[in-house]
Amino acid sequence: MSLLLAPVVEVYRLLLTPIAPFTWFGLGISTLDTVAAFRLCVALRQIREKLWHDHALKMKTVNAEKGQTAALQEIEPRSFVRDAAAALLVVYGGEAIMGPALAIPPSFMLSGVVPAFYTVIQATVDKLPWVPEPSYEVELPLALFDGFSRAYLLCNLIPPMVTAHPSPAIQENPWTLLLTSLMTANAGFFFTNLFSFFQPYALTLTTPTEFLPYGWTTTDLWCAPVITGIYSFLTHAQPFWADAHAVSMGWLGSSAAEGSSEKIAAVDPETARAVCAVILAGLFTTRVVKTFGPAAMKPKAKVE
């Protein structure tokens, strides 16, 4: 398996190498960081433009129907501050919640480099004359990159909040690790949806997508603790995962599992991350095919 995953490991090494001009100023921003920031900001603009179009069409339809009385909020002029705040809330919303819960300062309190970086990227994306609408042809190639970027978040950025914690009670607690992954990866979008940041009208409290029927089935929601769990299971990030690895190998009939869990070697972190990236790329590709594929584009039969 290591041979099959070797290309993924090498791609990660290439993507995580700091690049110029950031290295000129002693900043460790990599290709993965830059492309992921552009990917996020473009996706946020796509969401805003779709919601604006849907709301404008709804207003036009209501106004065209005589006798129709529906209260629709007026479209509000877009503000860069609002859009930049939304992007930063997506990036740091989860960390802002889990940092105090874990009694550690969020990263944006220690350095303003990355917040400023995302603000500049958001301004750049807003100045683009056009961004493509989400489609099968556009989203399918990006599903692979999404797998790489999300795996890096769930394997390298979030777990150290728990595994490197000074308190043993937190450091060795698998539930804390999974909950931290769930909240840190998803709370940002939860709050932007809660306050209608992407809607074309004034900020308004609304039901987040996660609280709508079957909102819990969203891939982005449940994949966070699952992938962090897989990575921790393979790398023995905590004693619980080392024991779980030993027990599972025992169920599979491995003689190495007889006795102590120390006989089960942990998987190299780079290889484990590559496994998680492949799994995520498969999940995101499946979502793209389901959402934008030929089957999804077939016109529905009219109800007589």
**How remote is the C-alpha of 219 from its chain's centroid?**
10
pLDDT in tens, 113-143: 999 999 999 999 999 999 999 999 999 999 9
Both tokens assigned to 156? 């390298």
What pTM was estimated for this model as a whole?
0.91
pLDDT of amino acid 63 = 64
pLDDT in tens, 200-238: 999 999 999 989 998 888 899 999 999 999 999 999 999
The 8 Å CB, 24+ separation contacts for 191-195 are 191/89, 191/93, 192/86, 192/89, 192/90, 192/93
Average pLDDT of 253-267?
Answer: 63
Average pLDDT of 37-62?
Answer: 92
pLDDT of amino acid 71 = 67
